Structure 1
C-alpha cells in the first residue's frame, strides 16, 4: 500500500484511540461524577468566587442563551477597540499598525464566533499582545462557548422531563480547566520541541543560500497553534497557517495537529450517548458522521493523487500527484486528508493552499462546509446534526402516520418550525452572500467600486465564482479557510462576511438548544411497539438521506456554476 495512504490510516486510528476515552471522560466531567482532574476544583471555585457566580444555580434554556450571548457581546466590543489601537499598545517589536475599523469589525467577529477567518496576515497584521489577549483568549473561550451550549443540549435529554438544565458558567469554566488548557499545554510542548518558536523577540535575520537577506517572523507561536487546533479555531500565527514550516515543522507535528482538531468533536458525540444514557444513539450518530467523512475523503484523495488532467494532456508526467500548492514535506495524500478534516470540522487551518486544489476537490471542500455536521466544530457539530435529526424524525413520523417523537418527547409544530428555519438559514446566507458579491463584481459603476476595489478577483471565470462561493460558505460554517486568489481585505468582504459569520454562528446554536429545551419540558412518553427508535441503523440511514437530499437541493446549482463547471471545462 502507498505509504502516504498508510499515514492517513495511522492518523485516523490514533485519533479514535484518543477521542473515544476522551468522550467517556467528558461525559463524567459534565455529569458531575468523580474524575482524576478533580484536583482542579479549588481553581474553579476561585474563578466562581472572583466572578460572583453560583455554579449550583440552575438555569432554563433561555437563561443559558442569555448568558452565552451577553458574554460574547462583551468580548466583541472589547476586542474591536484593542485591535484598532494595537499599534499604541506594548509588545509590538515589529511595529505592526492598528487595524482599520472594517478589518477590526471582521476580525473580532471572526474570532468571537470560532471562525478565525483572517483578512490579515499574522506576521504583519497583529502584535504579540493582541495575539495573546485577543486571538488566543478568544480561541479558548469561543470553543468553550460551543461546548457549554452542547452540554445544555445534553442536559435536556438526560432526564425524562426537566426544565432545570444546569449552569452555563460551570460548563463553560470546566470546558477550559478540564479539557482545553491541559491538552493545549501538552500539545504546545510537543510543537515547541519540534521547532515551533516560543520567543518574544522581533523578526530574526539570516542569509539564504542565494545570498539574500531574509527577515523571518517568530514569536510565542506554539501555544496558539495548539489551541487553534484543539478548539477547532484555525487562525494561523503566520499568514501561511500550518503550511508554514515554523507553524508545522515536520510530519510528526502534521499528525499531531490533524489529530488535535478531530478529537474534541468526536469525543462530544461519544459523550452525548453516554451522558443521556443512550450509548447506542451516540454510536449511530458517530457512524453516520464517519460515513459522510469518508464519502468526501476518498474522492478528494483520489483527485489529488490523480494529478491535473490538463497537465496530463500536455504529456507532463505527474508521478507524485497534484503538487501545486502542496508542501513537499507532506505530499498530496495527507494534504487531501487535512483539507477534508478541516472543512467538515470548523477548523479551517490549512497545510496546503485550497485555491490550488483540483476542481473536484474544491467541490468536496465546499460540500463539507455546507453540510457542516460531519463531526463539525467543538460542541456545535452535534447541534448542527440535531437539526437534520429532527427533520428526519418529522418525515419518518409523517410516513407512518404518527406524531413524531424523539427520546420520549413529542416533536410538534413549534419544534419543526425552528428546525426548518435553521435548515433554510445556511442556504440563504451562502447563496445570498455569493449573489451580492457576484453582482458587485459584474457592476462597473463608481457606486460599486466605492465599497469594493477593482482587480480583487484574480480568476474571473468559473474558478473566480468558486472563490466567492468558498469565502461566504466558509464564513457561514465558521470555518475560516479560503480560496486565496480572492482579495478579501476590503470594505465589502469585511462587512459582508462579518455579518454572515455572526448570524451563522449564533442562530444555529440557539435553534437546537431551544428545541431541546422545549422538548425537555414535555411529558415523557414511554416506548411502545410503535415508537420510532432513533438509535437504530435504519433511522441512522434515514438521517443520512435527509442530509444528502437537503444539501443536494440547496447547493447543487451553485456547485454546478463553480467547481463542477471548472472540472468539465478542464476535461473538454
Structure 2
C-alpha cells in the first residue's frame, strides 16, 4: 500500500511535466500564442504604469542588476511593514511589531525564497503582514528564480549577447504562471476544508470550561503559493502538519504536486528552448534517479522504526511515527520530506528533528546537492552547472576542448562555475564551525552529542540551499541565529545567481560550433550516468565528512 501511494504521486507528476513545461515555454519564448489575448491587456497596463512601454533585450550584466535592484526595493518595503505592523490595518488580534533582528531575518528569508521562520506565523504576524509581505514575497521570490532559469536557458541555447528583458519576464511570470496557478490551487484547497478568512481568531470554551483561541485567517491563499513557489514557511508554526494547512491525505498529495510540478516541468521547457527534447529528459531522468535513491533511504529507514526504541524492546513494526501525523503515515511523510528538500521548498508535514539518523541524511543530502529538481528555476540552473562541469571533465580526459550545446567551455566560464560550486559548501560549513566555537551558537543546541551537530548543520544547510525547513529542536530565535542565517541566505541566493548569469552571458556571445564526430553528445543515457556520478562524487567529497560527524555517527552509536 505504501508503494502504491508513492507511485501514484510519481505518475501524476510525470503527467504534468510535458503540458506544464510546454506552457512555460510559450510564456517566455516571445512567440505569439493563445495566452496573449487573455493576459496581454493586463500586462500592457502594468507596463504603461511602470514606464516600460519598450522592453529591449538586456545583456547579462543589465539583467542581473535589474533583478538585484528590484529585490532590494521589495526588501525595503517588506522590512518597513514588519516593523510597523502594529499600526497597520488587518490586525484584529493586536499583534505587536517584530523586533529588528527577527525582521531582518524574516525579510531576507522570504525574499531569497528560503522562508526560514524563527517565529510562529499565527502569533507573530498580522493578517496584513501575512498578505502584503509574506504572500507577496512568495510570488516575487519564486518568479525571480524562474526568470533566472529562463535567462540562463536563453543564454546557452540562443545567439546574441542577450538574456531577454528582466521586467517583461518578471511580469509574465506573475500574470501568466504563478497567479493563475495559485488561484486554481487556492480554490481547490478551500474546497478541501482549508480556511480562507479575515475574521479574528475563534474563541471557544472547552469541556473543562477553559477559554481557547483557534487561529484562522487567509490560510489557503498562502498555502497555495508557498508550495507552487517552492517557498515553504507556513501560516501556522507547525506548517503543513497543522490540520488547517493540510487536513487530509488528498491535500497532502496536492501540496506535494504543487511544490514539485514547476521544477520538474522546467526540464521540459529547457528541452523546448534547446530544440532537442532529449536534452530536457536527460536532465529530468538524472534528477529523478537521485531523487528515488534518497527517497528509498528515508522510507526504509523510517519504516524500520527508531533503532534506539527498538533496542529497548519496543515494537517497531509500525515504523518510526514520532513527529509524524497519523493521517499521513510513513509513506506520505517520507515522500513529503523528500519532495520538500529536493524542491528546496521547506514546508513540512512532519518534524525532521524526529527522523531516524539515517532518515535525516535524505533531507540534508538533497539540500547539500541543491540541484535535484531544486526550487523554482534555481534547481535546473544548478543541474545545468553540473552538466557543464561533466562536459568539462570529459573533455579533459580525451584532450578536447569541451563543448556544451555547441559552445566551447573555456577558462572564464569554468572560473565562474567554480565560484558558484565552492560558495555553497563554504557558507554551510564555515558558519556551522563558527556556531560551535561561540557560546551564543552552542546555547541553542537542545540535544547533546551527534544529534546536536546535525541540528546546527541542518540550520545552515537549509539557509544556504534557500529551503527553510529546520530541526526544530534548535533554539534559533535569537539575534545570533537571526543575523548569521540571514547572511547565509543572502549569499546562498545571490552568489550563484550572479555567477551563473555571467556564465550564460558569456556563452550567449559565442558562435555555435557545428557538431562533428568528436562531439560529446549530451542527450544520451551515457551522459545522464556521468552527470549523476559527477553530482554524487562532488557532493560526497564536500559533505560526507560532516555527515559522518552527525547522522552517521548518531546511527552507529544507537544501532
Q: Normalising TM by the smaller chain, what interval?
A: over 0.9
Is 1:91–2:90 an aligned residue pair?
yes
What is the root-mean-square deviation of aligned Cα atoms in Å? 1.3
1:127 aligned partner:
126
CA distance in structure 1 between the partners assigned to 2:420 and 2:328 by the alignment: 38
Hey, what's the Cα distance between the residues in 2 that align with 1:266 and 1:211?
A: 51
Deviation at 1:208, TM superposition (A): 4.0
| 1:246-284 C-alpha deviation (Å, 9 max, x unpaired) | 000111111100110000001111101112212111000
Where do residues 337-348 of structure 1 align in structure 2 (5 Å cutoff)? 337-348=335-346
1:445 aligns with none
2 CA distance for matches of 1:383 and 1:87? Answer: 40
Residue 118 (structure 1) aligns with: 117
2:79 equivalent to 1:80: yes
Q: TM-score, normalised by structure 1?
A: 0.96
Q: How does 1:141-540 map to 2 (within 5 A)?
A: 141-159=140-158, 161-208=159-206, 212-441=210-439, 449=440, 455-540=443-528
CA distance in structure 1 between the aligned counterparts of 2:207 and 2:266, rounded to whole angstroms:
48
Query: How far 1:198 moved relative to its partner?
Result: 1.0
Give CA deviations for 1:316-340 in whole Å, capped at 9, x if unaligned: 1133211000001111111000001
Q: Distance in 2 between matches of 1:372 and 1:356?
A: 22
Deviation at 1:211, TM superposition (A): 5.3
Whether the aligned pair in 2 keeps the contact of 1:5 and 1:334 (CA below 8 Å) is no
For structure 1, the residue ranges without an aligned partner over 5 or more in a row are 442-448
Instruction: For residue 541 of structure 1, report the CA deviation from its aligned partner.
Output: 1.3
Partner of 2:438, secondary structure, is helix
Contact 1:476 1:500 in 2 (8 A): yes
Q: Secondary structure at the match of 1:215?
A: strand
8 A Cα contact 2:162 2:508, kept in partner: no
Aligned counterparts of 1:120 and 1:104: Cα–Cα separation in 2 = 10
Deviations 1:126-146 (A, max 9, x none): 110011110000000111111
Residue aligned with 2:203, SS: strand
Preserved contact between residue 374 and residue 381 of structure 1 (Cα < 8 Å): yes
Query: 1:224-253, CA deviations, whole angstroms, 9 ceiling, x for partnerless residues?
Result: 000000000001000000000000011111
> Are residues 513 and 133 of structure 1, via their aligned partners in 2, closer, same or farther at CA, if it must alter by over 3 Å?
same
SS at match of 2:444: coil
Residue 455 (structure 1) shift: 4.3
For residues 535-546 of structure 1, what are the structure 2 equivalents within 5 Å?
535-546=523-534
State the alpha-carbon separation in 1 of the partners of residues 306 and 300 from structure 2: 11
1:524-555 C-alpha deviation (Å, 9 max, x unpaired): 21011111121121122111111111110100
Q: Is the 8 A contact 1:139 1:231 kept in 2?
A: yes
Q: SS at 1:323's partner residue?
A: coil
SS at match of 1:137: helix
CA distance in 1: counterparts of 2:327 and 2:196, whole angstroms: 22
Question: In the alignment, is the contact (CA less than 8 A) between 1:55 and 1:167 conserved in 2?
Answer: no
The match for 2:61 is: 62
Cα displacement (A) at 1:55 = 5.2
Does the C-alpha gap of structure 1 residues 209 and 293 become closer, same or farther in structure 2, counting only changes over 3 Å? farther
Q: How many residues align?
A: 558
The CA distance in 2 between the partners of 1:397 and 1:288, in whole Å, is 20
8 Å contact 1:116–1:480 — kept in the other structure? Answer: yes
How far has the Cα of 1:34 moved from its partner? Answer: 3.9
2:39 corresponds to: 40
Please say which of residues 246-255 and 310-319 is displaced more in the overlay: 310-319
- Separation in structure 2 between the aligned mates of residue 456 and residue 209 of structure 1, nearest angstrom: 37
Compare 36-45 and 49-58 and name the one that shifted more: 49-58
Partner of 2:134, secondary structure, is helix
The 1-side partners of 2:354 and 2:296 are apart by 18
Following the alignment from structure 1 to structure 2, what is the Cα–Cα distance between the partners of residues 21 and 383? Answer: 21
CA displacement 1:73-103 (0-9 Å, x = unmatched)? 1111111121111112121111111111100
The answer for the alignment partner of 1:24 in structure 2 is 22
Q: Greater CA deviation, 175-184 or 536-545?
A: 536-545
Could you tell me which residue of structure 2 aligns to residue 555 of structure 1?
Answer: 543
Matched, 1:569 2:557: yes
